[in-house]
Amino acid sequence: MNKLTKRIASFLLAFTFLFASTLTIFAAASSVSLEAQKSTYGNVWRDQQTPGWAAYQCQGFAVRMKYETSGRAVSTWKRIYTTNSLKDIKAGDIIRYTIKSTSTTDLHSIFITSVNSDASIIKFADANYDYKNGIRWEVTMSTTLRNRIVTSINNEGTNANPTYIWR
């Protein structure tokens, strides 16, 4: 191989590496990797505490996942109390909502793990859905649940009944 061919090959290799790295960064922006958490926590949540926040069961799990995947202190997170849809939801968000429309105290928290480009497919992880602290990983959100969450946040999101998106 002559010098020009080697230089062109080197340039193409460097360009390919840079392009592939950029694609990986953009792909990762819409999802959160939970592989380390899956191996650490398995299928049962044991109420490990998160620095700066005391919460248990589903909320404790969601807060811990956000803390571990974002590396940000709980005090830096922002609560959003209204939404027209979940189109602006992001991987890494926590959603806290009422499970039943007839109850203002039966709340559940989920941790968003991935969102496709138009937010038509949202996946999440949660704990205590079975009231036994079981963990579910990569659950696809149903249309019924999506509608329940939007209704819960818009109609019930007050300080007295804290339903919200936590970012």
Q: Are residues 79 and 139 in the same domain?
A: yes
Q: Are residues 100 and 143 in the same domain?
A: yes
Q: Are residues 50 and 1 in the same domain?
A: no
pLDDT at 57 over 70: yes
Strands 122-127 and 94-98: unpaired
What is the mean predicted confidence (pLDDT) over 39-57?
A: 84
Q: Are residues 100 and 155 in the same domain?
A: yes
pLDDT at residue number 156 = 60
Strands 94-98 and 164-166: antiparallel
pTM of the model: 0.76
In the chain, the number of structural domains is 2
Q: Where are the alpha helices (DSSP H) in 30-142?
A: 35-41, 57-70
Confidence of residue 21 (pLDDT cuts 50, 70, 90): very low
pLDDT at residue number 111 = 96
- What share of the chain in percent tops pLDDT 70? 74
Q: Are residues 91 and 156 in the same domain?
A: yes
pLDDT at residue number 16 = 47
Listed in sequence order, the residues at least 6 apart from 103 whose beta carbon sits closer than 8 Å to its beta carbon are: none
Q: Are residues 4 and 48 in the same domain?
A: no
Greater pLDDT, 19 or 147: 147
